Amino acid sequence: MKFYVCIKQVPDVNAPLQIRDGELLQDRDRMILNAYDASAVEESLVLTEEHGGKVEVVMVGPDKARETLRKALAMGADNGTMILTDRPDLDSTAYSRILAAFFKDKDYDFICCGKQAQDTDAGLTGSMLAEQLELPYVSNAVGLNYENEKLIVRRQGDAGQEIIELPSPGLVTCSNDMNEPRIPNLKGIMQSKKKPVDSITPEDLGIDIGSIELSTNILGFEEMPERETGKKFEGDPDEIAREVARLLDQEAGLV
């Protein structure tokens, strides 16, 4: 069984940030493996440790993101591929196009992605990639099992959990609620330095990264407006209920 896991380097959400003149200023020295992708790596490793197989990771990003890819190798992934680009404004459409070009001649049983990236929270790359590769697809997985050459996916839906069989080859996006990703130990860290990491560019895949079309354009950033002070009610419960209903109807227009 062979898994590919698509991973991304993102800013540490606990790092300080500022918005100045419509631009987002972040500490670029505090970049980490996307938490949702870490869960996808962990679940792939658990399944291959139980059933046998191989886990490869692939990342689109700048060369300095290589250390983040090495973390996935230190967790236990067998090898990785860096698709090198310094273009900072890539959106879900661009990532999915690049990854689809990468996977078009690859053999695999399943592709795993994080449900979303914690920097944009768009949650679109996995579904777009599945569409371009014409793969069956399950989103928001919170549990995976492998039976009869199929993934048994437990996914979180709007009204509860669903159990879906995903045939091979297929694609699944993983929630960060599905497991607790392992922390690489010293042995894993040392072994990761010897594991192969291929480096290619989008141009090697037939994509001109300079002219790739985006579906999303960021116009700027603004501070969230402060919430209005809430209203406190005191007195008879029946009178309070009537007053709340009146306010919802006449002032908020919600009734």
Rounded to an integer, what distance in angstroms lies between the CA atom of residue 55 and that of residue 78? 6
Query: In CATH, what is the architecture of 2-205?
Result: 3-Layer(aba) Sandwich (3.40)
Buried b (16+ CB within 10 A) or exposed e, 99-119: bbbbbeeeebbbbbbbbbbbb
Enumerate the β-bridge partners of residue 25. Answer: 18
pLDDT one-digit tens code per residue, 157-187: 888 899 999 999 999 999 999 999 999 999 9
Do the strands 170-174 and 110-114 form a parallel or antiparallel pair, or are they unpaired? parallel
**pLDDT band (50, 70, 90) for residue 28:** low
Residue ranges covered by each domain of the chain: 2-205
Q: What average pLDDT does the segment 198-225 reach?
A: 89
pLDDT in tens, 80-90: 999 999 998 89
Backbone angles phi, psi at 98, to 5 degrees: -65, -45
Residues 54-66, mean pLDDT to the nearest whole number: 96
Q: Can you tell me the distance from the alpha carbon of 255 to that of 55, in angstroms, rounded to the nearest whole number?
A: 53
Is the separation of the CB atoms in 91 and 214 below 8 Å? yes
pLDDT tens, residue by residue, 190-202: 999 999 999 999 9
- Identify the pLDDT of residue 252: 75
pLDDT tens sequence across 129-148 = 999 999 999 999 999 999 99
Beta strands across the sheet bearing 150-157:
160-167, 150-157, 137-147, 170-174, 110-114, 2-7, 54-61, 79-84, 197-200
Q: What is the pLDDT of residue 27?
A: 65
